[in-house]
Amino acid sequence: MRCLLIKTIATVTFLVCNASFAQNDSINSQSDSINLAVLKEYKEKSIKDEKQRVADSLQKSELERQLLQLKTTDNLQKSELLDELKKIEEQEQKRIDAKKAHIDAMRNSAKGFPVIGILNDTLFTIYSKIGASSAKERATNINKKIKILYDDDFFQADSIQTVKSENDIDIVYHEMILMSISENDAIWYNETIEEVAENFKTTLKTSIVNAKKENSLLKTLSRLGLVVLVLVLAWLFIWLIRKGYAKLLDYIALKKEDWLKDLSIKDYTFLTADQEMKVIGTTVNALRWLTYATLFYITLPIVFSIFPFSRNWANTLFELIWSPFKSLLLAVWHYLPNLFSILVIVVVMKYLIRFVRYVFKEIESKKLTINGFHPDWAMPTFSIVKFLLYAFMLVLIFPYLPGSDSNIFKGVSVFIGVLFSLGSSSAIANMVAGLVITYMRPFKIGDRIKIGDVSGDIVEKNLLVTRVKTVKNEIVTIPNSSVLTGNTTNYSIEAADKGLIVHTTITLGYDIPWRDVHEALIEAALKTDMILQDPKPFVYQTSLDDFYVSYQINAYTNEASRQGLIYSNLHQNIQDVCNEKGIEILSPHYRAARDGNMTTIPAQYLPKDYKAPDFNINIKKPS
């Protein structure tokens, strides 16, 4: 039963840990290759030192044997042997010092191979080889022997002993040599060989004893009970939170009328009571899930800490969750200097744009005059300068943006630029046309113009379009590219100073004296409102047609935007004056037979005794 439980736990451990260990295999293998390269150099030097040490040891033994064989009277030879022994000891000390110095130089770059206990904990690390066994092979062999001792049901911890050999100290269990400690091992740990052997022996003994205690059947059952208890408590807390959440929402809904009111300013309502209730519900729900996450964060480490083999799982899992947030926070922290640089650039550019706006406002209000620069150019030019300043600001900010030097960021920037260029070609054409129109100054806001077949007053002009309000209160939007490529007639540009000439044409028969017609038309024009008395209206005879003469009356006005009313009044006055002067407007296609027919002049303009003429019939008798 115990073996089956242990095997099951080991299987679960393998399945859970395999995913995380697999991710680190490539990194570990790369690190191991670097360590092997560093240790290989050290091993080659150690082999040479070991050969020298064996030779010195044999020579030292031979000298000591010779000393023992000398007689007490051979002082001269004895002194020579002692000198040689002293030289060998000095060489031995130099060799040890050189080895220490070399190992100290390798401490920061070389990493040994760990000896892993049954509970997956690192007991100690092997750095050096012994004989033909490398440090990695030594660590692997020690791990296997620890497993053998752990599986021994009759294991006796006190049977692990240290046995000193000629140059090394062995840690043995009965007849099994668990490991050997050499002089190199002692140097790596900055201790004597005896201290290192005793520490390793104690560590091995303690590790196996603790593993047997931790994996005992009774201990396993008690841990399972603790897991069940923790899970039951966690479920109880979740049940209480769920019940409390429902009761809290019911209580808030009950107090809704007393607590929640519409948030309004004058006639605008920001939030109604129902919307506030939804916000509160969403907030409470978020707090509930935050509580669940906190409970999970507390429960999971407790559950994993109960079993020795799973105590590192919680750290691994939370590292997977916390690592992105940690990376984000660190990235924000490291990005703060660049962020401050961006803020400084933005603030400086903000106040520079304010200063430029102030200058162009002064030009627009005609407080500041520049020869050749018209006031109505001020704000369009400011828009261009502001755009250029913002573009320059973006150029300065770009190197400080996170990831600006990455190929992905550059690729996305180019892609967006291409999309913008392809999708906004017509918009850019209108913008360029708007700039050209601004500096051409063909019209300004309020001017009465005619663009193509559209006549009206300019109500808006920007970089993209021009908007015209017709006399029928229709707003017509015209793209600037169309304005630039077409003809524009401006009625207002000369009206204020020189006056706009309004003109209309009537046609009258040849039977009417032209001087009478001129007098009548000028009189009609002078009676019309908004027609200037000076310069005086004048008449052109534009054509002599088959049945009539074309007379064009021309008059000056300053009200270019009220042409419709002026023309209407002018036409009325022409009719009235012509009728008063007895001038019949019969053309261009009006025909009248005079005999027996009334005149076309309205009755109020005729004498009271006016009668239609009789028919004249002339009969000529043949001779």
Note the pLDDT of residue 33.
55
Identify the band that residue 168 occupies on the pLDDT scale cut at 50, 70 and 90: confident
Please write the tens of the pLDDT for every residue from 59-76: 666 666 666 666 555 666
Q: What is the DSSP code (8-state) at residue 168?
A: -
Note the pLDDT of residue 51.
63
Flag whether the pTM goes above 0.75: no
Q: What is the DSSP code (8-state) at residue 607?
A: -
Q: Kindly report which listed range (92-101, 109-118, 430-439, 542-551) carries the lowest average pLDDT score.
A: 92-101
Q: Kindly report which listed range (19-23, 290-294, 562-566) carries the lowest average pLDDT score.
A: 19-23
The class (CATH top level) of 500-605 is alpha beta
Mean pLDDT in residue range 558-577: 92
Please write the tens of the pLDDT for every residue from 509-541: 888 899 999 999 999 999 999 999 999 999 999
Q: Which of 428, 361, 346 is nearest to 394 (CA)?
A: 346
Tell me the C-alpha distance between 177 and 114, whole Å: 18
Mean pLDDT in residue range 244-265: 84
Note the pLDDT of residue 418.
73
Q: What is the mean pLDDT of the chain?
A: 81
By the 8 A CB rule, do 45 and 342 touch? no
Statement: residue 466 has pLDDT above 80: yes
Query: Other CB atoms closer than 10 Å to residue 163's CB: what's the count?
Result: 12
CATH fold for domain 434-490: SH3 type barrels. (2.30.30)
Higher pLDDT, 377 or 396: 396
Please write the tens of the pLDDT for every residue from 285-319: 999 999 998 888 888 888 887 876 777 777 777 77
Tokens of 563: 């042409």
Cα Rg of the chain (Å, integer): 55
Distances (CA, A) of 342 to 233, 335, 400, 402: 51, 11, 7, 11
Statement: residue 107 has pLDDT above 50: yes
Sequence ranges of the domains in the chain: 112-215, 218-311, 434-490, 500-605
Q: Where does residue 5 fall: left (phi above 0), alpha (psi -120 to 50 degrees), or beta otherwise?
A: alpha
Mean pLDDT in residue range 581-603: 72
For residue 130, give the amino acid letter. Answer: I
Q: Are strands 263-265 and 538-544 parallel, antiparallel or unpaired?
A: unpaired
Note the pLDDT of residue 463.
79
With a pLDDT cut of 70, the percent of the chain lying above it is 81
- Which letter, b or e, does each residue of 450-476 get, where b requires 16 or more Cβ atoms within 10 Å of its Cβ? ebeeebbbbeebebbbbbbeeeeeeee
For residue 466, give the amino acid letter. Answer: T
Distant-in-sequence, close-in-space partners of 501: CB < 8 Å, separation ≥ 6? 554, 555, 556
Higher pLDDT, 623 or 285: 285
Statement: residue 8 has pLDDT above 90: no
By the 8 A CB rule, do 215 and 6 touch? yes
By the 8 A CB rule, do 186 and 192 touch? yes
